[in-house]
Amino acid sequence: MAAVLAPMGGASAADATAPVATAAPAAQVKLVANVELPKLQKQLDTLKQRVSAATSDNQLSTLNEATQKLSVAADALVASIQPDRAQVQGQLDVLGPPPAEGAMAETSVVAQQRIVLNNRKTLIDSQLEHAKAISTSATNLSAQIADIRRNALRTQMALNSGSILAGSFWTPLFNLSPEDKQRLDNLGEDFVDAWQSAWEPDWRVGSATLLVMALAIWIFGSRLLDKLLEWFSIHLLPEGRLRRSFLACASALATVFSVGVGAECLFLLFTRHPDVPQTVIDFANELFILTLFSALVSGLGRAFLSNKRPSWRLPAISDPIALAMRSLPPMLASFILIFGTVEQINNLVGTSVATTIFGNGISSLLMALTAGYAPLRTNRARRRLLAQGGQPEARTLIAGLIHLSITLTAIAILVSLLVGYIALARFLSYELVWVGLILCSLYLLIHLVVDLSDALFSPTTLIGQRIKHSLGLDDRHLSQAATVMSAIGKTVLILLAAVALINGTFGSTTPLSLLSKAIDMWGGKGLEKLNIVPAHVMNALIFLAIGVYVLRSVRRWLDKDFLPHTMMEPGMRASLVILFSNLGYILITLLTLSTLGIQWNNLAWIVSALSVGIGFGLQEIVKNFISGLILLIERPVKVGDLITISGVEGDIRRINVRATEIQLGDRSTVIVPNSQFISQNVRNVTMGNAQGVVTIALTFPLDIDPEAVRNLLLETYHDHESIQETPAPSVSFSQLGPSGIVLSVTGFVRSPRIVASTKSDLLFELLKRMRAGGIVLSSPQKMIFENSPLGTTPVIVDRSAQ
């Protein structure tokens, strides 16, 4: 040590040249680190800011490359600092530790040298930690960018990630990146470890039992449940449509139950060991939910096609077409399970963006091909059936729209994949499956609810008879109860379906989550801020379409099914239906705005602007609208009334939002603004069950027998079937003049609408009877001036009696 310390000490004593020379490399690194570290830190901060503001995949890709270069630069700086840190540590090792207390003291030069070296070591250590922190932050930022890009593939539909025809799309299939290969190998090792743990000696018997149970349930479970459900439907359910709808729904649930129980047994085989990795447990949980959805797709296909029991098939599908479509539901369910599993693996291990794009593109491609193949195969089967002389089922409008929608969606998916919008293709694929799943389930459940309501309240079933006798109801009340219960059930199902379409997602939505979201929507959550995004726009359009359909269906149900069974008069029924429609459209409009994410206080400026317009240009419309609501609520006039307003007399056929339609006697229609019914005098002829009055005034000569004429008039009125007995017809002596006497006969009919026809019949009958009785009507006097020769007096001839 003395040999080492001597030159160092001598140099220090001289001019400190030796220490500077010895520490020159460290001083150079210190200078470089002081320059490079602020640059790297500034680059890292800038990249973080740009990542938070990035809006396109190209920007994120560029930032990811820059982040990886920054990480490499930070690692290079760490590598350049470490040798100097080792050199300083070596010098400290040469100096050794400070002398212990009581030992011989070291020279001041050595002590000073140790202080300098320790300060240098502390500085280098801080620089190393800073450089490592920058490298770690850059690595984490790169992983964050990859997560953002993966999430963008699922959320940003307008993200162009390259066509499936490009070579870069197929790269992960032939040249998997080392990082992805390492991640997948680690996941595979976890699965191998879980499998080996399941077959350890202490767990072998249980694992074998679970495996045998899963295979047995998958092979025999669905068949056994089908036979039990068929026996239950035939022997325990009442005859009628309930058997078909119950068996269809139960067979779909039986498929889900058997597949789900078998999958649960298989998953327990892997996950019941206490040393199973958490990744395997998480993957098993996600795969179990995906398996249930795939089984539901297959079960719904079996329930709809019902190839084993064609006579029990709910939709109108001919047997050849149902047989042609038999393989489609299992094939679609298999694709959903396989590629859903691939996506779960990608999300679980965090594969690269290229691998994620490849998986999404392939799954969307096969979904589109399957969806496009279904209409083609159906049309081919229909053409084959026609060629063989058969007659396929008549395609309804809804069936045609569904057929067209599936075809167009499949074409849109293929076009999106070819153009490069894989995110959009994935969204359309999953939405197609999700919408189809919801609509098929809604179709089966609506049939089940309607048939169950009819069976419960049918007077021919045992339950219906007990309800009828216990509550003292008649058949009409049972029919009304069945109609109301089926309507309530359909309404609840449609609302749940709407919630599922708007808020649900394929593979992650359960009935409990749908119920929770329905409660949240009923409570008004989600309307807290203005946030219009493409997904909200699509949800709003879906809600608008469903809302209009539901409103029209309920209106048709009220008008055709429910209200006709009540004691309401037709006018009041029509008013209730119109009022319900107007309020329903207002509610649908408001809820559609809510679905868009518009907060009401954000519309205050719109309301203020509209108020100015209402004050000038819209006041008449608003006045007529409010008047229409008053007419529907106060009901001074209603649909079916015979009214007179502004010289127009006719029947009210419809009260609209702005105006009322009045049908005249010649079947023409007059449109009257609603405000006129509020501001003008209106004669309602039929209000309050008004009776019609038939009055006929006749003029007779002075020499007739008034009593005989009076009896003839009364007898004629009494004999007519339309004249009511109460109040009784009457004859009044209206006028006595030089031209004769005027008698007026009055009778009442049940409605003002038959006054004209009744009066015409009475006139015909009166003339007939007066002619038979020798009674003549008084004629006006006529003065005729006849010309006479010039110079003679004109002759006036009175021919009034002639």
Q: Which has the minimum average pLDDT: 143-152, 205-214, 605-614? A: 605-614
Residue type, 550: V
pLDDT tens readout for residues 327-359: 888 888 888 888 888 888 877 777 777 787 888
Query: What is the pLDDT at residue 516?
Result: 56
Rounded to the nearest 5°, which phi and psi values hold at 782? -125, 130
Residue with tokens 């608003």: 622
Query: What is the pLDDT at residue 790?
Result: 53
Categorize the per-residue pLDDT at 380 as very low, low, confident or very high, splitting at 50, 70 and 90.
Answer: confident
Mean pLDDT, rounded, for 415-428: 85
pLDDT over 70, % of the chain: 81
Query: What is the pLDDT at residue 23?
Result: 37
pLDDT over 90, % of the chain: 2
Exposure of 508 by Cβ count < 10 A (0-12 exposed, 13-18 middle, 19+ buried)?
exposed
Spatial distance between the Cα atoms of 95 and 19, rounded to a whole number of angstroms:
14
Q: Is 567 helix (H, G, I), strand (E, B) or coil?
A: coil
Structure tokens at 756: 């004209």
Spatial distance between the Cα atoms of 135 and 144, rounded to a whole number of angstroms:
14
Query: What is the pLDDT at residue 3?
Result: 34
Residue type, 543: F
Query: What is the pLDDT at residue 523?
Result: 41
Spatial distance between the Cα atoms of 13 and 107, rounded to a whole number of angstroms:
12
Q: Give the gyration radius of the chain's Cα atoms.
A: 46
Categorize the per-residue pLDDT at 161 as very low, low, confident or very high, splitting at 50, 70 and 90.
Answer: confident
Bridge-based pairing state of the strands 648-655 and 642-645: antiparallel
Structure tokens at 63: 């930032």
Q: Is the pLDDT confidence value at 16 over 50? A: no
Query: What is the pLDDT at residue 506?
Result: 54
Structure tokens at 543: 């809600």
Mean pLDDT, rounded, for 13-41: 51
Question: With b meaning 16 or more CB within 10 Å and e meaning fewer, what string describes 513-546?
Answer: ebeebbeebeeeebbeeeeeeeebebbbebbeeb
Categorize the per-residue pLDDT at 509 as very low, low, confident or very high, splitting at 50, 70 and 90.
Answer: low
Categorize the per-residue pLDDT at 690 as very low, low, confident or very high, splitting at 50, 70 and 90.
Answer: confident
Rounded to the nearest 5°, which phi and psi values hold at 178? -60, -40
Query: Would you give the DSSP letter of residue 159?
Result: -
650 pairs with which residues across the strands?
Answer: 643
Q: Which has the minimum average pLDDT: 16-25, 43-52, 370-379? A: 16-25
Q: Is the pLDDT confidence value at 604 over 60? A: no
Q: Is the pLDDT confidence value at 14 over 60? A: no
Spatial distance between the Cα atoms of 365 and 414, rounded to a whole number of angstroms:
7
Mean per-residue pLDDT of the chain:
77
Residues with Cβ within 8 Å of 111's Cβ and at least 6 positions away in sequence, in order, are 98
Structure tokens at 735: 């006028």
Exposure of 789 by Cβ count < 10 A (0-12 exposed, 13-18 middle, 19+ buried)?
exposed
Spatial distance between the Cα atoms of 514 and 516, rounded to a whole number of angstroms:
5
Q: Is the pLDDT confidence value at 786 over 70? A: no
Mean pLDDT, rounded, for 615-631: 71
Mean pLDDT, rounded, for 751-772: 87
Residue type, 311: S
Categorize the per-residue pLDDT at 655 as very low, low, confident or very high, splitting at 50, 70 and 90.
Answer: confident
Residue count of the chain, please give it: 802
Categorize the per-residue pLDDT at 22 as very low, low, confident or very high, splitting at 50, 70 and 90.
Answer: very low
Rounded to the nearest 5°, which phi and psi values hold at 505? -135, 150
Predicted TM-score (pTM) of this structure:
0.54
Q: Integer distance in angstroms from the first to the last C-alpha of the chain?
A: 170
Mean pLDDT, rounded, for 507-515: 53
Spatial distance between the Cα atoms of 644 and 637, rounded to a whole number of angstroms:
11
759: nearest Cα among 712, 666, 695: 695
Q: Is the pLDDT confidence value at 617 over 60? A: no
Mean pLDDT, rounded, for 756-769: 88
3-state secondary structure 286-350: HHHHHHHHHHHHHHHHHHHHCCCCHHHCCCCCCHHHHHHCCCHHHHHHHHHHHHHHHHHHHHHHC
Spatial distance between the Cα atoms of 701 and 688, rounded to a whole number of angstroms:
41
Q: Do 281 and 310 form a contact (C-beta atoms < 8 A)? A: no
Mean pLDDT, rounded, for 308-326: 83
Q: Is the pLDDT confidence value at 10 over 50? A: no
Query: What is the pLDDT at residue 529?
Result: 41
- Helix crossing, 422-456 with 278-305: angle to 10°? 60
Q: Is the pLDDT confidence value at 159 over 70? A: no
Q: Is 419 helix (H, G, I), strand (E, B) or coil?
A: helix
3-state secondary structure 635-665: CCCCCCCEEEECCEEEEEEEECCCEEEEECC
Query: What is the pLDDT at residue 150?
Result: 61
Query: What is the pLDDT at residue 792?
Result: 54
Residues with Cβ within 8 Å of 213's Cβ and at least 6 positions away in sequence, in order, are 262, 265
Query: What is the pLDDT at residue 614?
Result: 52
Q: Which has the minimum average pLDDT: 138-142, 192-196, 261-265, 711-715? A: 138-142
Spatial distance between the Cα atoms of 379 and 390, rounded to a whole number of angstroms:
14
Q: Which has the minimum average pLDDT: 219-233, 673-687, 706-720? A: 673-687
More confidently predicted of 323 and 479: 323
Q: Is the pLDDT confidence value at 476 over 80? A: no
More confidently predicted of 31 and 445: 445
Helix (H) or strand (E) holding 467: helix 462-471
pLDDT tens readout for residues 273-306: 888 888 888 888 888 888 888 898 899 988 888 8
How many Cα atoms sit within 13 Å of 46 on the Cβ side?
10
Mean pLDDT, rounded, for 187-192: 86
Q: Do 565 and 481 form a contact (C-beta atoms < 8 A)? A: no
